[in-house]
């Protein structure tokens, strides 16, 4: 029936109208999100950068966490197709992300007075539990060092 | 288990490497110190062939203390071991079989299982405690063993009289059972960050164990699936001052600006520049005082990408976006960006790293187009009503209505829905002209 498809098209166009904020803000105790109705992988896109950011669903969010510090993690898994280290602010907004492939143990360490983003990246399915490199990255410069395990 | 046959194992090793010289400083193999009798998880069919070794201990964390010794977590033994940094000897074990500690907490300090991320924590100047250890106690390895809720665990140990007790446990708001991975971090301010590894979640607690924040980055219905994971999660101070330029996307009415890695931006300022894009390659974008750029509007930075509505009466056809910190100091700016709103219907110009240009179609329909769709829908509905009316007036339609009303017999007859639809289908050839009329809208 033609008018059915017209209404569907109109509804779809309304859903995709530009919204007031550029970032999708984090949810709070969203049941829809918890049951997967916001998607099995709640990620957000941006217009100015071809990156993907998380959309957290906070179960608890007190001001005790609003400390201006940064959460660093490395999303991966069967449904994450562009894994890499990621940094979020204390409201869950993306701050930095770069795709490095399967990434483990992303953290920030100080080395000789400079802060570096450190992580392991590689293939975690081979040679037992994987083969890869440890990275120390300072986003202002090229990667400082990549260290491979010694064969002894 | 007690196995006396030979077989193949994945050995658990760790290495200490000097990252400047790549020199190997220390190496340790579990097979020198742990037998299969130490292990809780059996081979489960592995180990008979070199292509399928038995991952018998599965080392998953390493820490080094001020004494030069190591704390290693061996997941499938359900214990953590303290290793002499010179000889490699096992100085003590906590948990699993052959635990060296007397548990003063009725077992809760040492009944860890499938654990991750064992770390020494600073002393608390308590004469009864030599030091503390934090562990992410998974309490689950998935199917094949009891799957209990995971906890963050802070244990006090006394290495003089070899006792261990629970100082704190950290629990999520509702139980999360993570069969692998996970982390516990004690921050400088005493807050504790738990990463839930296999499950997309992290939590922040006060040192005393009060839950302050808990974030899920995947649906909790999907917990236990491994679809979204993060091996560990940490919270740290950081300052990001990228050498790249901000990235901007321009539509006919809006500028979208982001700057991957920047932490110091408080305000985005949109400016019009009077010179054209030919000069942008010679321009040094680092100058804050740019006599040719004129302030248009400013917005506070919001999230990763901030939206700037460009006033529709803006006369400039080249723009630039400048970043300012919270003191109002200039940080950096993009180059000059071409902007021609008259020619940009449904298009977005993306200037990645503040220069160059790529064009994309807008992924959303603009308001005028949506309004137009609404008008078309109304027109279509009217046409449908007219069409149905027309059909009823045909001979076929009349017969149909007669069937429904049962006029011929003065009694009601049952009409099956399918039959009615089949009759309507037979009308299709007559309607073709009407369909063409609708589509031409």
pLDDT tens column, B276-307: 444 444 444 444 445 578 999 999 999 999 99
pLDDT at B357 (0 to 100): 81
Number of CB pairs < 8 Å for A and B? 252
Least reliable range by pLDDT among A4-8, B89-93, B269-273, B318-322 = A4-8
When pLDDT is averaged across residues A57-74 and rounded to a whole number, the result is 97
Res B367: pLDDT: 45
Whether residue B221 and residue A53 make contact (CB cut-off 8 A), yes or no, is: no
Among chain A residues, the shortest Cα distance to B351 is held by: A48
Q: What is the arithmetic mean of pLDDT over A66-73?
A: 97
Residue B88 pLDDT > 60, yes or no? yes
Mean pLDDT of chain A, nearest integer: 83
Which has more confidence, B63 or A18? B63
Among A13, A21, A105, the residue with its CB nearest the CB of B231 is A105
A24 DSSP assignment: P
Q: Which residues of B touch A33 (CB under 8 A)?
A: 216, 219
Confidence (pLDDT) at B363: 58
**From B170-184, B342-356, B385-399, the region with the lowest mean pLDDT:** B385-399
* pLDDT tens per residue, range B28-53: 999 999 999 999 999 999 999 988 89
Nearest CB to A16 within list B206, B258, B365: B365
Nearest CB partner across the interface for B381, out of A3, A75, A93:
A3
* pLDDT > 90 fraction of chain B, expressed in percent and rounded: 65
Contacts of A26 in chain B (CB under 8 A): 215
Predicted local distance difference test score (pLDDT) of residue B369: 52
- Chain B residues inside the 8 Å CB shell of A140: 241-243
Structure confidence at residue B356 (pLDDT)? 78
pLDDT at B366 over 80: no
Query: What integer best gives the mean pLDDT of chain B?
Result: 85
A92–B237 C-beta distance less than 8 A: no
The ipTM (two decimal places) reads 0.82
Q: What is the pLDDT of residue B213?
A: 98
Nearest CA to CA, how far is B129 from chain A (Å)? Answer: 28
Which pLDDT belongs to residue B187? Answer: 96
pLDDT of residue B401: 63
Residue of B nearest to A91 (CA): B303
Q: What is the pLDDT of residue B383?
A: 77
Encoded tokens for B132? 């503390």
Determine the pLDDT at residue A128: 75
- Better-predicted residue by pLDDT, B7 or B359: B7
More confident residue, B348 or B379: B348
pTM above 0.90, yes or no: no
Q: Which pLDDT band, with edges at 50, 70 and 90, does B371 fall under?
A: low
What mean pLDDT comes out for the span B184-197? Answer: 97
Of A49, A59, A115, the CB nearest to B216: A59
């Amino acid at each position: 029936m033609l008018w059915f498809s017209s209404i569907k098209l109109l509804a779809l166009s309304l859903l995709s109208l530009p919204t007031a904020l550029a970032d999708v803000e984090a949810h709070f105790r969203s049941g829809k999100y918890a049951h997967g109705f916001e998607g099995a992988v709640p990620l957000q896109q941006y217009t100015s950068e071809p990156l993907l950011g998380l959309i957290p669903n906070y179960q608890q969010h007190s001001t005790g966490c609003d400390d201006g510090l940064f959460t660093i993690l490395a999303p991966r898994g069967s449904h994450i197709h562009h894994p890499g280290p990621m940094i979020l602010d204390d409201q869950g907004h993306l701050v930095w992300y770069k795709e490095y492939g399967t990434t483990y143990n992303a953290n920030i360490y100080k080395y000789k007075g400079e802060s570096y983003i450190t992580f392991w990246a590689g293939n975690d399915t081979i040679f037992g539990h994987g083969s890869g490199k440890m990275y120390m990255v300072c986003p202002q410069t090229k990667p400082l060092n990549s260290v491979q395990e010694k064969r002894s | 288990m007690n196995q006396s046959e030979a077989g193949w194992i994945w050995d658990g090793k760790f290495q200490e490497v000097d990252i400047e010289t790549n020199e190997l400083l220390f190496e340790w193999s579990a097979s020198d110190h742990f037998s299969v009798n130490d292990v809780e998880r059996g081979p489960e069919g592995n180990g008979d062939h070199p292509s399928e070794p038995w991952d018998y201990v599965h080392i998953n964390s390493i820490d080094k203390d001020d004494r030069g010794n190591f704390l290693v977590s061996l997941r499938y033994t359900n214990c953590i071991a303290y290793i002499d940094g010179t000889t490699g000897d096992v100085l003590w074990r906590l948990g699993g079989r052959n635990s060296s500690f007397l548990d003063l907490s009725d077992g809760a300090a040492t009944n860890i299982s499938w654990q991750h991320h064992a770390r020494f924590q600073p002393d608390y100047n308590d004469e009864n405690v030599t030091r503390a250890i934090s562990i992410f106690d998974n309490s689950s390895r998935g199917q094949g063993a009891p799957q209990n809720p995971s906890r963050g665990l802070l244990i006090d140990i006394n290495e003089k009289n070899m006792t261990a007790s629970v100082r704190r446990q950290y629990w999520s708001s509702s139980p999360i059972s993570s069969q692998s991975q996970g982390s516990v971090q004690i921050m400088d301010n005493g807050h504790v960050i738990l990463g839930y590894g296999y499950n997309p979640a992290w939590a922040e607690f006060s040192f005393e164990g009060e839950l302050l924040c808990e974030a899920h980055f995947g649906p909790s219905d999907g917990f236990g699936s491994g679809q979204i994971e993060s091996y560990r999660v940490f919270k740290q101070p950081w300052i990001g001052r990228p050498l790249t330029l901000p990235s901007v996307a321009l539509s006919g009415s809006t500028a979208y600006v982001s700057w991957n890695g920047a932490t110091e931006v408080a305000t985005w300022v949109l400016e019009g520049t009077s010179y054209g894009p030919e000069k942008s390659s010679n321009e040094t974008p680092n100058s804050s005082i740019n006599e040719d750029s004129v302030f248009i509007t400013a917005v506070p930075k919001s999230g990763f990408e901030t939206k700037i509505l460009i006033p529709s009466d803006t006369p400039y056809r080249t723009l630039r976006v400048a970043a300012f910190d919270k003191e109002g100091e200039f940080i950096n700016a993009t180059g000059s960006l071409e902007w021609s709103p008259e020619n940009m219907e449904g298009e977005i110009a993306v200037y990645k790293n503040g220069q160059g240009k790529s064009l994309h179609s807008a992924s959303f329909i603009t308001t005028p187009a949506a309004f137009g769709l609404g008008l078309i829908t109304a027109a279509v509905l009217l046409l449908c009503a007219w069409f149905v009316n027309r059909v009823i007036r045909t001979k076929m339609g009349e017969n149909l209505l007669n069937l429904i009303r049962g006029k011929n017999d003065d009694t009601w007859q049952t009409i099956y829905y399918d039959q009615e639809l089949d009759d309507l289908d037979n009308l299709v050839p007559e309607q073709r002209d009407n369909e063409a009329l609708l589509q031409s809208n």
